[in-house]
Amino acid sequence: MGATGTLGTRWHIAGRSLLLVLCTGLPASAQPAAGYPPPGQPPPGQPPPGQQPYGPQGYQPPAKPAPYQQRLGPYQKRWQPVEEDPMDRPSYVAADRHYGRHKHDGWYLRLAGGIGLLRDAGEAENLRFEREGVEPLELYDETASGTAALTELAVGYALTTGFVLALAVNTASAPSPSAPNPGVGTGDNDFRLTHLTVAGPMVDVYPVPTLGLHLQGLVGVGIGVVGETLLVPERPKLRSHTATGWGFGLGIGYEWWIADDWGLGLLARVNYASTSGPDVDSNDWSHGFLAPGLLLTLTYN
């Protein structure tokens, strides 16, 4: 009974060993302990025996990406804090995106038109008339006036912000001025178109370059064209003529911005010219022209 029991126990152990070998392919004694690789296998992350590791010598597999790492295809961009002195950091200046807008600088162009008065104080000594039978006058002195159309054209450049130097042409044209007849015949003398031009350098100043108030002054050549008197049977006829001399102009106005560099405004202006010249009858004339008025202006600056 004892021998039979011992033999049964041995067969029982041998059966268990055979079953373990059939299930695992390895003897029970060849099973690796927990935490170790199987016999003949390299540790995790190491190449098999006799083979060189992949990559260059000393290559280490990439570490786990940092929290701030960003992968962009084959490239990698990594944020790294940089220690720098606050004084070394770049400084930024706020720039006006509309620099030069609504400011009187650069090129200057003025176009203006309006209405006013043209006054001509003319005189001549020993005035001879075209009409026969009329004795010459020792002194002919009259003042003719009438409603006039005014214009202004100026082109220039702002030498500094708000200070413009330009070449300007100011005109005043009266289609039919009239004057009391001083002792020759009766009634008034009615003249044909009479015209005044004053041209020369002009200064236009904007005290506040971003606003529209401006003051202007012009000094230059004055040219007056006096029309002949209308033919009336009982009156002697005065001949048309041109008189030249000097003149000036003054003005004050205000403009409102309608675009980045364009302004629309009003201008109160006065021109004066002192001129002289002969007519076709060899009469020597001297004239003093005065032309005040109000103009609508369009200015680029």
Question: Mean pLDDT over residues 97-123, rounded?
Answer: 87
Q: Is the pLDDT of residue 65 over 80?
A: no
State the burial class of residue 179 (Cβ atoms within 10 Å of its Cβ: 0-12, 13-18, 19+): buried
Q: Residue 150: phi, psi to the nearest 5? A: -110, 145
pLDDT at 32 over 60: no
Residue 232: is its pLDDT beyond 50? Answer: yes
Residue 193, both tokens:
């178109």
Query: Helix, strand or coil for residue 39?
Result: coil
The CATH topology of domain 107-300 is Porin (2.40.160)
Domain boundaries, the chain: 107-300
Mean pLDDT of 138-148: 87
| Residue 146 or residue 16, greater confidence | 146
pLDDT, one tens digit per residue, over 166-224 is 999 999 999 999 887 655 554 678 888 999 999 999 999 999 999 999 999 999 999 99
Which has the higher per-residue pLDDT, 38 or 188?
188
What is the pLDDT averaged over residues 84-91? 60
- Biggest CA–CA distance in the chain, Å, is 188
Integer Cα distance of 5 and 3 in angstroms:
5
- Is 127 strand, coil or helix? strand
Is the overall model pTM greater than 0.85, yes or no?
A: no
